[in-house]
Structure 1
Amino acid sequence: MISIEKLSRRGFLNMGAAVGASLLLPRTGLIGAARAAAPLPAVAEENAVIGFGHVGPVTDEGWTWAHHQGVLAVQKAFPKLKKVLEVENVPYSADATRIYRQFVSEGANLIFDTSSTGDFLHEVVKRAPDVGFMECDGRTTMDNLGWYYLNHWYPTYVVGVAAGHLSKSGKLGYVASFPVPSVFSGTNAFLMGARSVNPNATLQAVVINSWFDPQAAAQAGTALIDNGCDFLFGIMDEAAYLQVAEKRGVWAAMWNTDIRRYGPNAYVSSIIIDFKDFYVDQVKKRLAGQWTSSENLFAMGKGIDRDAWGEKVPADVAKAADEVRQKIINGWSPFTGEIKDSTGKVRVEAGKTMTDLDLYYWDWSIEGVSGLSA
């Protein structure tokens, strides 16, 4: 029998100095590549302990819910595991260090930090060389620490194409969490997709300093609509601005999961994430003595994609966007220069294509984006 232990933590999301520091770490290695360190030794399934630390509640129907589906997949694939440790609402503070130290003290063989806690995690990694660690949206590697994330900018560009067709005003709104690379790449990709249809489209962002704050997200969505935006996008872990869009009669696209039931008439699509196969594969390697730290960015169609189109999305709009999606899957990249930043400075020269690591570390806004600065 698997022992599943859950703890709830308070102190939700204080973006401390460790997060800022982690964003400044140098780029490391290759996408999907394993480091040269020797694999950690094999562990019998019945003796293995696997830990998961989450940034939010597993009931959020968003980011943490998606990671929890991966936990359930691990439980199903490895029913003899000695223990699965799962902690919700891990804060960006010294409490995160204590949580991960507790995982180690309970015999964890592989630990997943499902939303980067930076140096708060790294302190534990350095003192537990026999334990494997994987940090979602991490920015560094060690012999026993790897990272993983999603190429969300590609499906975001596809949804942006749909937005370019659907928006009548050409004014797009974005409910942002923090000024971090995932938000810069999301806003930029979304507007670039829209501008492939309407070159005059613009995007206004409102930063609410949280990943999960329904009241603030609803207020931001309302303000954006009041300012003329007729298509809302964002990176929230809940449905608040979709509900606002539904009430106000504008379009909206979401993140993490299919939550169209909160706004069926407004819903265009969502950036859908799926960690199940990745988590099962990582645990399998750890048990078999084949696990080494690695760097992983999920390709579109393999852990990250757009959701099925909303029922009100016209067929011709869906077709146009999906033609672009197929081009990307076939190897085409829309992130080719010339690309200017919000001050008009050329950041990507004509003919140069941004790499996935360039996109992963994107920390500046393109021309046409307002309300967001590093």
Structure 2
Amino acid sequence: MTMYRPRGRLLTSRRQVLGLAAGTAGGALLRPPPLLAQSPMAGSLRAQPRRLAPIAESDALVAFGHTGPVTDGGWTTAHDRGVRAVRQAFPRLRTVYVESIPYSADATRIFRQFVAEGAQMVIATSNYGDFIRDVSDRAPDVAFMECDGHGVSGNLGWYYITHWYASYVIGIAAGLMTRTNKIGFVGSFPIPSVYAGANAVLLGARSVNPAATLQAISINAWFDPQAATQAGTALAENGCDFLCGIMDEPGYLRVAQQRGIKAAMWNTDMRQYGPDAYVSSVVLDFRAYYVRQVAARLAGTWQAQPHFLTLGHGVDRDSWGRTVPPDIAARADAMRERILAGYNPFRGPIRDAAGRLRVPDGAVMDDDRIYQWDWPVEGVSGLD
């Protein structure tokens, strides 16, 4: 595998997020939903998909554009595992990647470089918007995929993870384990993936503990260990005894370990950095999904489409930490099993932080609506 290093600054801000997680993470699955649930949201945006010619494995080049370093231990590490799975599945195929692609014209230059090098498939592991769309429009015979994208064209599709269900399940554990009723959340930016994560945690917590609240701190970065540690410390000093968030590294988990409180993480299993504090993680695993997409491109059957990767087939909770009481784990997992069987817990009435009714009684927020969540629910502070 070849790595190109882009010129310019390394990225500290990034995508809105995604994944494909280990279906074995903590128990048997009950009638899981389809691996790829097509989103109707982008249906009106979708152009007629182009039929791209098949490619011999020995002639194929697949390029990956990453938003952070592959050694971050979180988001980009999870994607890099997917890249390695592709290499293992197709040993004669070539892969290249670039780390820490900035959200600037440099991104366009790098994606163009992939095409110039002969890549027949380009996968951006974050949302690069017009920076990738401008390139895909000019390379109609190349397949483009954008994680957390929003537009679909003849040769550009997007994919994302329904991480909010795993966050809801972990939120149930948080609601049962907190003694102060204060949950702390370390976020990056006030964007839909962060709102969805924070809101899901608190809604899960309030389903078992109506007194629970969630205080968020945004650090304007996805990978900034110092800032995440400072935010976790501030939340703990404000009385939060359960920390969670949507970071790419374990800064606030270390804070929880030092202070004797609990924490839930994101992206990967990070319990080694705080074994007594670790409750679980929203875990991502892109391996099967990437292998499937590359196989389709080689066969000439790939089509640009919008897809959600679903609970148990793209994202899940990690196995519970060693200090999580079995009865609490069982109560949280009862909801996980209901979701796997088709239940949606995001149902009204749901009010925003100002008390306004946003989801009426009896209404349900589907994945498309959650994917675009841009307001904090009642009880969440620090994001609006």
Instruction: Normalising by structure 2, report the TM-score.
Output: 0.91
Q: 1:295-331 CA deviation, whole Å, 9 max, x = no partner?
A: 1111100010000000010111101100110011011
Q: Is 2:12–2:68's contact at 8 Å kept on the other side of the alignment?
A: no
| Equivalent in the alignment of 1:150 | 161
Alpha-carbon deviation of 1:11? 2.0
Q: What code does the residue aligned with 1:11 have?
A: R
- Comparing 34-43 with 241-250, greater Cα deviation is found at 34-43
The one-letter code sitting in structure 1 at the alignment partner of 2:11 is: L
For 1:223, the equivalent position in structure 2 comes to 234
**1:50 aligns to 2:62 (yes or no):** yes
What's the secondary structure of 1:324's corresponding residue?
helix
Give the deviation of 1:118 after TM superposition.
1.2
Q: Calculate percent identity across the aligned residue pairs.
A: 55
Cα distance in 2 between the residues matched to 1:207 and 1:7 = 29
**2:328 counterpart letter in structure 1:** V
Residue in 1 that maps onto 2:11: 13
Aligned equivalent of 1:204, options 215, 220, 239? 215
SS at match of 1:310: coil
Match of 1:169, as an amino acid?
Answer: T
Give the drift of 1:34: 8.6
Kindly provide the amino acid, as one letter, of the partner of residue 74 in structure 1: V
State the superposition RMSD in angstroms.
Answer: 1.8
Q: Structure 2 unaligned segments of length 5 or more: list them.
A: 17-39
Alignment counterpart, residue 114 of structure 2, candidates 103, 107, 116: 103
- The question of whether the paired residues in 2 share the 8 Å contact of 1:214 and 1:239 is answered with yes
Q: Does 1:263 align with 2:274?
A: yes
Instruction: Select 2:77's aligned residue among 65, 90, 99.
Output: 65
Match of 2:255 among 244, 254, 273: 244
Per-residue deviation, 1:52? 0.2
The equivalent of 2:301 in structure 1 is 290
Q: Paired residue for 2:371?
A: 360
Match for residue 137 of structure 2? 126
Greater RCO, CA 8 A, separation 6+: 2
Alignment deviations for residues 140-189 of structure 1 (CA, whole Å, 9 cap, x no partner): 11111000110000010000000011000110000000111110000000
Query: Contact 2:61/2:119 (CA < 8 Å) preserved in 1?
Result: yes
Q: SS where residue 291 of structure 2 aligns? A: helix
Partner SS, residue 362 of structure 1: coil
CA contact (8 A) 1:269 1:306 kept: yes
Instruction: Look up the SS of the partner of 2:96 in the other structure.
Output: strand
1:22 is matched with none
Distance, in Å, in 2 between the alignment partners of 1:283 and 1:28 is 22
- Mapped contact 1:242–1:252 kept (Cα < 8 A): yes
In 2, distance between residues paired with 1:113 and 1:295?
14
Q: Which aligned segments of 4 or more residues in structure 1 are displaced greater than 6 angstroms?
A: none
Structure 1 62/14 Cα, relative in aligned 2: closer, same or farther at 3 Å? closer
2:10 aligned partner, one-letter code? F
1:114 equivalent in structure 2? 125
- Name the aligned partner's letter for residue 39 of structure 1: R
Contact 2:12 2:223 in 1 (8 A): no
Greater mean deviation of Cα atoms: 38-47 or 215-224? 38-47
Instruction: Report the AA paired with residue 300 of structure 1.
Output: L
Partner residue, 2:90: 78
Q: Does 1:307 align with 2:329?
A: no
Q: Which runs of structure 2 are paired with 1:4-43 in the superposition (5 Å)? A: 4-7=2-5, 10-13=8-11, 27-29=41-43, 36-43=48-55
Compute the displacement of 1:268 (Å). 0.1
Matched pairs, number: 361
Tell me, in whole angstroms, the C-alpha distance in 2 between the residues paired with 1:14 and 1:321. Answer: 33
* 2:342 counterpart residue number: 331
Distance in 2 (alpha carbons) for counterparts of 1:13 and 1:310: 31
